[in-house]
Amino acid sequence: MARAVFEGAKEVQEIDSTLKIDFEATPEELGEADAFIVGMPTYHRDMTRSIKTLFEDTASKGVSLKEKIGATFGSYGWSGEAPNMILEIMVKRFEMNVIHPPLRIKNKPNEKGLEECRNFGKKVAEKIRTRTLK
């Protein structure tokens, strides 16, 4: 899913996109980005520890994410709460400008689901481009 979202974002001209896998991003990198998209599967009705730690470190270091564009996506088997939980943190804790709703795909995405991922990435990148052209 992450690679498909990235492919969609790369289609938008004038936007420099970077793919980070397994939360290689640092709080400082989040602070420097115009936007970021977090992909997270729902695991036992929760998000994984890695994203919680990244957000905790970002807050404790005082890195501002205010007004940055944020989006989330994820796969799930039963409930699918993680993308919504992350979006809530982006809005309530970091005052980010988020894209609603998060992209949620049940189980492993088929080709139609991967196309939804590409369209989602493109949607986020187009929002960034619109904001930077103002």
pLDDT at 95 over 90: yes
pLDDT at 134 over 60: no
- pLDDT digits over 2-61, tens only? 999 999 999 998 888 887 776 688 999 999 998 999 998 887 888 888 889 999 999 999
pLDDT at 132 over 60: yes
Beta carbons within 10 angstroms of residue 117's beta carbon: 22
Show the tokens assigned to 13.
Answer: 């001209």
Please tell me whether residue 59 adopts helix, strand or coil conformation. helix
Q: 46 forms bridges with which residues in the sheet?
A: 43
Dist CA 63 CA 80 (whole Å): 28
- pLDDT digits over 55-87, tens only? 999 999 999 999 999 999 998 888 889 999 999
Q: Which CATH number fits domain 2-129: 3.40.50.360, 3.20.130.10, 3.40.50.2000, 3.10.440.10?
A: 3.40.50.360
Q: What's the whole-model pTM score?
A: 0.88
